[in-house]
């Protein structure tokens, strides 16, 4: 089928009501879970082929997270489906108000290369549990994983309900011209703007999950031993190729030297046997990204690290002495380079961050509740942690999404179901009583009665 034919058939399947029943949703979710468990080694091998991600890391972040999300939806989606009864004001008496959770229709999910299974299938789970048909577009920058997902879906799902479309710019452009009922995109802010512009032409609602320069703020009261471990854990995962990785450290000047000392302890402890891409560390995804990161590194002042190897696309986790005007601070890094910037007082932190593009994540290391509240109220960001990094993604009760340049909308857990549903409000009223007060002709007497009854 052509892309246009595929979308047409999916919309017809949705109109037939095929995906609406709870049993149908449950069957599809259970089938997806079974396939992922059965093919997890094949999927992890594909990810390793694409950019050398270790099996342990792939299983935890790409397989387990998806299986856990499916279990959450299987346990709860039938209750999420139920209509919600709401109160009715006296002006509509007697009546009953109900909000129905209706599926959107046929949705497009555009995944990202850095977590090619997780970021493609996680939103799909919400689309299925909400009763939609869906087309997936995996990233062409992870070609082996994309092909594996394509094969998995082609062999096990009816394409009029769930389908994978492979390709690059041309295929994505054609997809964006189709009359979808929702588009869910994960990727860069630059491409997100293209997606939103195309969607706006057809008034298609979008969820955009992007990135930004997510700060890790280390305050003067921070526990440096813990802060250094948790910041470098978040930065070295996937070699820093995560949209919520700590992009830079904003540290109180009194803590700088100790953070450097702790860094020199933490990294050897994490990688005592050396950096081994594919076993305990991840490669940079391709030559273009490697060259971009190498250029940033070459124009920076290195404190710790800095070793690179072009043949294996290896870049060592590197701590960099930086200032706000440095080249490395002008764009999201998306790699294992960690700029370190100092501040002197609390005002400096809020003033600098509040006027910059809002990041997808923010991490604050401090037990000072007044400073915590000041950051939470004064600096816009999508989500984050206090005294940790990354782990907010592991709580399905917390909606995950951005703000401003880092995105719009959210998902995970119940929020995913809500993202792929629409609220349909219905007022049900009996045919009796039917007072004349509501009907023309209107006069002073009716107005006075209305004021007495409802004012």
Per DSSP, the residues of 18-48 read TT-SHHHHHHHHHHHHHHHHHTHHHHHHHHH
Structure tokens belonging to residue 317:
């986790």
Q: Is 264 helix (H, G, I), strand (E, B) or coil?
A: helix
Q: Which is nearest to 148 in space by CA: 29, 26, 58?
A: 58
Degrees, nearest 5: CA angle 196-401-216: 120
Q: How far apart (Å, rounded) are the C-alpha atoms in residues 151 and 304?
A: 43
Q: How far apart (Å, rounded) are the C-alpha atoms in residues 294 and 82?
A: 53
Distances (CA, A) of 179 to 176, 183, 195, 270, 446: 8, 10, 13, 48, 48
Side-chain-facing half-sphere of 52: CA atoms under 13 Å? 19
Q: Which is nearest to 400 in space by CA: 145, 256, 209, 266?
A: 209
Alpha helices in 39-168 (DSSP H): 40-51, 55-58, 65-81, 118-129, 143-156
Question: Given the DSSP bridges, would you call strands 318-321 and 337-343 parallel, antiparallel or unpaired?
Answer: parallel
* 279 among known catalytic residues: no
Catalytic residue chosen out of the listed positions 62, 69, 243, 332: 243
Q: Which is nearest to 154 in space by CA: 145, 144, 162, 142?
A: 162
User: Which DSSP state fits 418?
Assistant: H
Strand-pairing partners, residue 343, are: 252
* 385 among known catalytic residues: no
Report the interhelical angle of 189-201 vs 169-176 (nearest 10°): 40
Catalytic residue chosen out of the listed positions 62, 209, 332, 418: 209
Question: Given the DSSP bridges, would you call strands 407-408 and 206-209 parallel, antiparallel or unpaired?
Answer: antiparallel
Q: Which is nearest to 314 in space by CA: 358, 283, 279?
A: 283
Q: Which positions are catalytic?
A: 209, 243
């Amino acid at each position: 089928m052509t892309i246009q034919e595929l979308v047409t058939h999916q919309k017809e399947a949705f109109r037939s009501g095929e995906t609406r029943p709870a049993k149908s949703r449950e069957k599809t979710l259970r089938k997806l879970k079974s396939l992922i468990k059965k093919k997890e080694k094949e999927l992890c091998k594909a990810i390793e082929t694409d950019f050398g991600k270790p099996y342990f890391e792939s299983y935890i972040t790409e397989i387990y997270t998806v299986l856990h999300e499916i279990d959450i939806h299987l346990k709860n989606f039938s209750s999420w489906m139920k209509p919600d009864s709401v109160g009715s004001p006296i002006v509509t008496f007697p009546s009953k108000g109900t909000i129905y959770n209706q599926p959107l229709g046929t949705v497009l999910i555009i995944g990202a290369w850095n977590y090619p299974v997780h970021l493609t299938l996680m939103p799909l789970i919400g689309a299925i549990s909400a009763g939609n048909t869906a087309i997936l577009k995996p990233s062409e920058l992870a070609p082996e994983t994309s092909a594996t997902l394509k094969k998995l879906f082609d062999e096990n799902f009816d394409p009029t309900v769930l389908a994978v479309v492979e390709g690059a710019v041309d295929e994505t452009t054609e997809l964006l011209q189709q009359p979808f009922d929702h588009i869910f995109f994960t990727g860069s802010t630059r491409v997100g703007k293209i997606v939103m512009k195309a969607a706006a032409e057809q008034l298609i609602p979008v969820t955009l999950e992007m990135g930004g320069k997510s700060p890790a703020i280390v305050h003067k009261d921070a526990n440096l031993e813990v802060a250094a471990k948790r910041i470098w854990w978040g930065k070295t995962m996937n070699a820093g190729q995560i949209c919520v990785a700590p992009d830079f450290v904003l540290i109180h000047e009194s803590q700088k030297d100790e953070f450097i000392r702790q860094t020199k302890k933490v990294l050897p402890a994490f990688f005592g046997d050396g950096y081994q891409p594919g076993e305990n560390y991840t490669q940079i995804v391709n030559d273009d990204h490697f060259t971009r990161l190498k250029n940033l590194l070459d124009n920076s002042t290195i404190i710790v690290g800095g070793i690179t190897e072009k043949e294996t696309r290896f870049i060592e986790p590197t701590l960099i002495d930086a200032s706000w005007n440095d080249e490395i601070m002008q764009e999201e890094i998306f790699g294992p380079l960690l700029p370190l910037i100092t501040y002197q007082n609390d005002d400096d932190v809020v003033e600098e961050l509040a006027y910059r593009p809002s990041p997808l994540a923010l991490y604050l290391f401090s037990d000072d509740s007044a400073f915590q509240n000041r950051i939470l109220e004064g600096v816009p960001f999508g989500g984050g942690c206090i005294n940790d990094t990354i782990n907010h993604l592991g709580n399905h009760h917390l909606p995950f999404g951005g703000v401003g340049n880092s995105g719009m909308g959210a998902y995970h857990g119940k929020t995913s179901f809500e993202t792929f549903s629409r609220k349909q409000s219905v007022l049900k009223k009996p045919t009796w009583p039917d007072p004349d007060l509501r009907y023309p002709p209107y006069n002073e007497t009716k107005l006075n009665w209305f004021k007495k009854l409802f004012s």
